[in-house]
A and B are shown apart, each in its own frame.
Chain A
Amino acid sequence: MGYPYSHDLEVGTILSRHFGDESARRLNVWQEYGGYAALAKAVGMDATQITGIVKDSGLRGRGGAGFPTGLKWSFMPQEPTGPHYLCCNADESEPGAFKDREILRWVPHLLIEGCLIAARAIRAEHVYIYVRGEYFPYTRILNDAVVEAYEAGFIGPDILGSGWDCELTVHIGAGAYIAGEETGLMSSLVGGRAEPRVKPPFPAQSGVFGRPTTVNNVETLAAVPMILSEGSAWYRQWGTERSPGTKLWCCSGHLERPGTYELPLGIPLRDIIYDVCGGIRNGKKLKAVIPGGSSTALLTASELDCASTYEGMQEAGSSLGTASPIVMDEDTNIVRAIRRTAEFYAHESCGQCVQCREGTAWVAKILHRIEMGDGRLADIDTLYDLCEQLTGRTICVLADSVVFPLRSSLDKFRADYEALIGGRA
């Protein structure tokens, strides 16, 4: 169940049952809990069967874009002409997101098992888990689990006597948000700069070492073992038609009970904030929430009655993203919060695309000036125009990402900007 708090609305079966239980990190305990049963089942199945079950389950990628996982796997060549790779994206760097961290540190074997099943489904001979550099302590936990799994024959040659071989390597990044973008991740993994590249070719055509590769998020892969054990219909008992299953919500900000909760998709966002997380701390009012991690549009107190699904959040004008709401109470200086966010993007831009490299930094500087009381009304027009220039023109969507919080803050909290500007033309 959730960590550090739990709640009745949670469904802790799939990902979070053992959060907070240090003993679950050990293989013997994990096996008592039923660990690696799904892998045993998977080695008796072929790639198409596994992919079929995951397709039917409707599992969608948890890395932010919500791409259907089974469909992504089916893009891999059906008849390999050489090695295939699986990359598990554990670079989790989106401000607000800390759900993958919980999986890494509490249930590392769940992730390993998910990786191996996915590797079988895409005919990969090697799994790379790319962990952000700052997650060093959790990487240690993961590494210990990998060693145990190797010793037990769950990874390596002839897995569980099936004749199937698969290796797994944990790679530690150097700490860059852009290494989380899948092509940036692959470049960094093979020793290049973490720089996204133009697609096509897509990873399924040319990825790690130029070979077909699938990149999946930690939480996506961690959901796979239970789906395989219990079946797709079982998984679909939660959530909606287009957003089935459960999802980790990592809630932060001015909340009574911030933390990670595993919730069925579809609960109203308002209930997540006011019921699951116990509402705003110190009895304050909510001013805004960035619902899906810093790359999503702000919602105001009157916009919380949306369903917490991919489609529901989109209808509300934002997106589910990584399901990492950052909640801000009535005392929050929105301009400052957005300035801080813009600075993050300026700092993390890889710097290839001119718009992103120069534009994110410019946005941050204008916001800083407004925050310091030196703004002018024309700055608001400039910021709106920069939103246009930063949208849809770059290699990856980092540039677009800064626009969502920025534009929504201008639309919904213009008064806050104008108050700081004080009428200067």
Chain B
Amino acid sequence: MSEHVVSLTVDGVEVKVPAGTPVIQAAERAGSVVPHYCYHPGIPSRPAQCRMCLVEIEGQPKLQPSCVMIAQEGMIVHTQSEQALEARRSVIEFLLLNHPLDCPICDAAGQCMLQDYAYETGQLSSRYEEPKLVLGRDRIAEDILYFADRCIICTRCVRFMEDIAGDNSLVVAQRGHKAYIDTFPGQELEHAFRGNIVDVCPVGALVHEDFVFKARAWDMDTAPGICAGCSQGCNIEVNVKENQVVRVKPRYNADVNGYWMCDEGRRHLVMANRGLRLDVPMIRRGDVLEAVTWSEAIEWIAASAPWGAGGVAVVHPGESNETLFALRELIGALGIAGGGYRMSRGEEVELPGFPRLKLRQDRAPNGAGAELFGFSETDAVPVPEAGQTLLVAGDRLLDAGSDYGAQAGFYVYLGTHMTEGASSATVILPLAGAGEADGTYVNFDGLVQRFHQAMQPPGVARPGWMVIDRLLREVEPDRPPMRDVAAAFGSMAAATPELEGLSWRGLGLKGGRTAGRATVTGAR
């Protein structure tokens, strides 16, 4: 056997793990999850202070914290021995002494490690008769509330800030049973990745203010997504209640974002779909834009657009690959030679303890995808010559006035929001927005990642690729249809050498690499 592997027995199951693996991880491989609080796989410091993960190791007189005990060859571990169970039960009893048990109004209820283990250890009543200690609550950052009474002082939050964010403004104040988490007087917790402290908190002590009292864990729908805040492409979990995004959390992906994401990203999806949404196709009839059905709109465009006559186009790096691919086809059919996209940029913010992840300068998720499908970056919106065709897809035209595109002969606007710049459009097609469709993005690093629909788009808005596919099939009845997103991905991959070998299914939730990385290195 290699010296880099040790084998040990956990609850009767033999496992082999790399040398240096903590017992808690070895146990997990053997199928025994050891309850824990202070240990977090993404936070390197291991104070072993909650004493929840104590296990029995044969030959050791005392119970040992499995989060720091390193697996040794031949070790025999019992995670469920009477002694270990008793120690665990008592930690829970101690934690509940002063705990307010306000689960009915606590935002962590249903996703709380204290609740879970308390149920697991079956403690329905307490021997504690003394008055509970009340510590109150506080605002620990501009957007984060701290409920001190619920805090179990596992210090995960402090250690995330210290070890990962490289920021020591969060501290344990006081000591013993009066200890609580705080910033130094006059100091604020301002770090761009501070929101992760809420995710690492195993209980309901830290809550984002914009989530407080908003939704019960069991009332939310959840879909796996990709953050559209920047080109990093953090994997996220989108929590939706009544078709509204109420919370965005990071979803683990070792290659992209680990356990983390930035605060700008958390807000991105919540904010992205606000405003006056387009929810129905519209056609210009004289001075007015008239709402029509999809069939009417498609038939009308197919009949009246100047196919093959050329023009100008701008797309948006927030659109999915599938939509960008379809747009390229549409632009081609219109005879337009290539299009541009505009990228908004911001300052890069690093996460010193997890250098792979940065809030990237490119503040859109799919600049690499736009490049891949032949669009090139521009600064300004294109100005069509009189009578020419203009196509705008996704760009919200925030810098354009109501006369933008008025000189165009035919102006197609595909987008999510009504905007002044679209006032003179010939036809407006409502698209599904962020979180409202399935699709893929290519991140700054050339990784193709899938995201899933988390909520319904408004009205009859539809994903861009679906709309365009329908339109192109109206013009070219023999085109093979894109029946679903997997088929859309398939047609796209078949026509794109860089995507060779990739399939929607094959990408799974961890993503797949583009073949020709060189083509997408423009991304920052």
The interface of chain A, by Cβ under 8 A from chain B, is 176, 178, 193, 195, 197-198, 346-355, 357-362, 365-366, 369, 382, 389, 392-395
**Given A197-B47, A354-B52, A369-B130, does the pair A392, B95 have CB atoms closer than 8 Å?**
no
Q: Is B94 a contact of A359 with CB atoms below 8 Å?
A: yes
Residue from B63, B94, B153, B175 within 8 A of A176 (CB atoms): B175
The docked-state distance in angstroms from the alpha carbon of A353 to that of B38 is 10
Interface residues of B in 301-353 (CB under 8 A from A): none
Q: Is B51 a contact of A389 with CB atoms below 8 Å?
A: no
Q: Is B51 a contact of A353 with CB atoms below 8 Å?
A: yes
Tell me if B517 is interfacial: C-beta within 8 Å of chain A.
no
Across the two chains, which residue of chain A brings its CB closest to B129?
A369
Chain B 78-110: CB-based contact to A (< 8 A → 1; otherwise 0): 000000000100110011011000000000000
**CB-defined contacts of B52 to chain A, threshold 8 Å:** 354
Tell me if B152 is interfacial: C-beta within 8 Å of chain A.
yes
Say how far B368's CB is from chain A's closest CB, in angstroms: 43
The docked-state distance in angstroms from the alpha carbon of A138 to that of B186 is 35
Interface residues of B in 165-187 (CB under 8 A from A): 171-172, 174-179
The docked-state distance in angstroms from the alpha carbon of A284 to that of B98 is 43
The docked-state distance in angstroms from the alpha carbon of A178 to that of B155 is 18
10 A-B interface contacts by CB (under 8 A): A195-B47, A351-B175, A353-B50, A354-B51, A355-B51, A357-B177, A358-B177, A362-B128, A362-B130, A395-B49
Say how far B308's CB is from chain A's closest CB, in angstroms: 72
Q: Is A393 a contact of B62 with CB atoms below 8 Å?
A: yes
Across the two chains, which residue of chain B brings its CB closest to A352?
B49
Q: Is A346 a contact of B152 with CB atoms below 8 Å?
A: no
Residue from B68, B94, B152, B171 within 8 A of A362 (CB atoms): B94
**Given A198-B68, A352-B49, does the pair A361, B95 have CB atoms closer than 8 Å?**
no
The docked-state distance in angstroms from the alpha carbon of A198 to that of B51 is 11
Say how far A241's CB is from chain B's closest CB, in angstroms: 27
Say how far A224's CB is from chain B's closest CB, in angstroms: 33
The docked-state distance in angstroms from the alpha carbon of A198 to that of B177 is 20
Q: Is B65 a contact of A361 with CB atoms below 8 Å?
A: no
**CB-defined contacts of A394 to chain B, threshold 8 Å:** 51
Chain B 49-85: CB-based contact to A (< 8 A → 1; otherwise 0): 1111010000001110100100000000000000000
Across the two chains, which residue of chain A brings its CB closest to B95?
A354
Q: Is A358 a contact of B95 with CB atoms below 8 Å?
A: yes
Say how far B197's CB is from chain A's closest CB, in angstroms: 18
Name, among B171, B172, B175, the residue most crowded by chain A CB atoms within 10 Å (CB to CB): B175
Across the two chains, which residue of chain A brings its CB closest to B127?
A382
Specify the main secondary structure of chain A where it touches its partner: helix
The docked-state distance in angstroms from the alpha carbon of A22 to that of B178 is 42
Tell me if B471 is interfacial: C-beta within 8 Å of chain A.
no
Tell me if B48 is interfacial: C-beta within 8 Å of chain A.
yes
The docked-state distance in angstroms from the alpha carbon of A198 to that of B62 is 14
Say how far A305's CB is from chain B's closest CB, in angstroms: 31
Across the two chains, which residue of chain B brings its CB closest to A176?
B175
Q: Is B90 a contact of A357 with CB atoms below 8 Å?
A: no
**Given A362-B97, A365-B130, does the pair A193, B176 have CB atoms closer than 8 Å?**
no
Q: Is B152 a contact of A354 with CB atoms below 8 Å?
A: yes
**Given A198-B68, A362-B130, A392-B62, does the pair A354, B50 have CB atoms closer than 8 Å?**
yes
**Given A354-B95, A393-B63, does the pair A346, B153 have CB atoms closer than 8 Å?**
no
Q: Is A353 a contact of B98 with CB atoms below 8 Å?
A: no
Q: Is A360 a contact of B176 with CB atoms below 8 Å?
A: yes
12 more A-B residue pairs beyond the given contacts A353-B51, A393-B51, with a C-beta to C-beta distance below 8 A: A178-B175, A193-B171, A351-B172, A352-B47, A354-B50, A358-B94, A358-B177, A389-B94, A392-B61, A393-B54, A395-B48, A395-B49
Across the two chains, which residue of chain B brings its CB closest to A345?
B176
**CB-defined contacts of A346 to chain B, threshold 8 Å:** 176-177
The docked-state distance in angstroms from the alpha carbon of A245 to that of B54 is 41
**CB-defined contacts of B54 to chain A, threshold 8 Å:** 393
Residue from B47, B94, B133, B171 within 8 A of A354 (CB atoms): B94
Residue from A198, A351, A355 within 8 A of B91 (CB atoms): A355
Across the two chains, which residue of chain A brings its CB closest to B70?
A200
Across the two chains, which residue of chain A brings its CB closest to B69?
A198
Q: Is B172 a contact of A193 with CB atoms below 8 Å?
A: yes
Chain B 453-480: CB-based contact to A (< 8 A → 1; otherwise 0): 0000000000000000000000000000
The docked-state distance in angstroms from the alpha carbon of A337 to that of B417 is 73
Say how far A83's CB is from chain B's closest CB, in angstroms: 24
Across the two chains, which residue of chain A brings its CB closest to B50?
A354
The docked-state distance in angstroms from the alpha carbon of A349 to that of B153 is 13
The docked-state distance in angstroms from the alpha carbon of A355 to that of B177 is 10
Q: Is A355 a contact of B94 with CB atoms below 8 Å?
A: yes
Say how far B15's CB is from chain A's closest CB, in angstroms: 24
The docked-state distance in angstroms from the alpha carbon of A394 to that of B63 is 10
Across the two chains, which residue of chain B brings its CB closest to A398?
B176
Across the two chains, which residue of chain B brings its CB closest to A356?
B176
Across the two chains, which residue of chain B brings its CB closest to A197?
B47
Say how far A401's CB is from chain B's closest CB, in angstroms: 14
Q: Is B68 a contact of A357 with CB atoms below 8 Å?
A: no
The docked-state distance in angstroms from the alpha carbon of A58 to that of B74 is 38
8 tightest Cβ-Cβ pairs between the two chains A and B: A352-B49, A358-B94, A351-B179, A349-B176, A365-B130, A361-B177, A389-B90, A351-B176
The docked-state distance in angstroms from the alpha carbon of A346 to that of B176 is 7
Across the two chains, which residue of chain A brings its CB closest to B175?
A351
**CB-defined contacts of B61 to chain A, threshold 8 Å:** 392
Name, among A346, A357, A359, A389, the residue most crowded by chain B CB atoms within 10 Å (CB to CB): A357
Interface residues of B in 426-440 (CB under 8 A from A): none
Say how far A282's CB is from chain B's closest CB, in angstroms: 37
Residue from A351, A361, A382 within 8 A of B153 (CB atoms): A351
Across the two chains, which residue of chain A brings its CB closest to B89?
A389
Say how far A370's CB is from chain B's closest CB, in angstroms: 12
Say how far B432's CB is from chain A's closest CB, in angstroms: 48
The docked-state distance in angstroms from the alpha carbon of A213 to that of B496 is 63
Q: Is B176 a contact of A350 with CB atoms below 8 Å?
A: yes
Say how far A151's CB is from chain B's closest CB, in angstroms: 39
The docked-state distance in angstroms from the alpha carbon of A347 to that of B62 is 26
The docked-state distance in angstroms from the alpha carbon of A50 to that of B296 is 99
**CB-defined contacts of B178 to chain A, threshold 8 Å:** 351
Across the two chains, which residue of chain A brings its CB closest to B62?
A392
The docked-state distance in angstroms from the alpha carbon of A348 to that of B176 is 7
Interface residues of B in 1-50 (CB under 8 A from A): 47-50
Across the two chains, which residue of chain B brings its CB closest to A368?
B130
The docked-state distance in angstroms from the alpha carbon of A349 to that of B172 is 13
**CB-defined contacts of B65 to chain A, threshold 8 Å:** 198
**CB-defined contacts of A197 to chain B, threshold 8 Å:** 47
Chain B 271-287: CB-based contact to A (< 8 A → 1; otherwise 0): 00000000000000000
The docked-state distance in angstroms from the alpha carbon of A140 to that of B94 is 43
Across the two chains, which residue of chain B brings its CB closest to A399?
B51
Across the two chains, which residue of chain B brings its CB closest to A361?
B177
**CB-defined contacts of A195 to chain B, threshold 8 Å:** 47
**CB-defined contacts of A382 to chain B, threshold 8 Å:** 127
Q: Is B63 a contact of A358 with CB atoms below 8 Å?
A: no
Say how far B128's CB is from chain A's closest CB, in angstroms: 7
**Given A352-B153, A369-B130, A382-B127, does the pair A358, B98 have CB atoms closer than 8 Å?**
yes
The docked-state distance in angstroms from the alpha carbon of A358 to that of B94 is 6
Say how far B46's CB is from chain A's closest CB, in angstroms: 8
Q: Is B48 a contact of A198 with CB atoms below 8 Å?
A: yes
Interface residues of B in 125-163 (CB under 8 A from A): 127-130, 133, 152-153, 155
**CB-defined contacts of A355 to chain B, threshold 8 Å:** 51, 90-91, 94
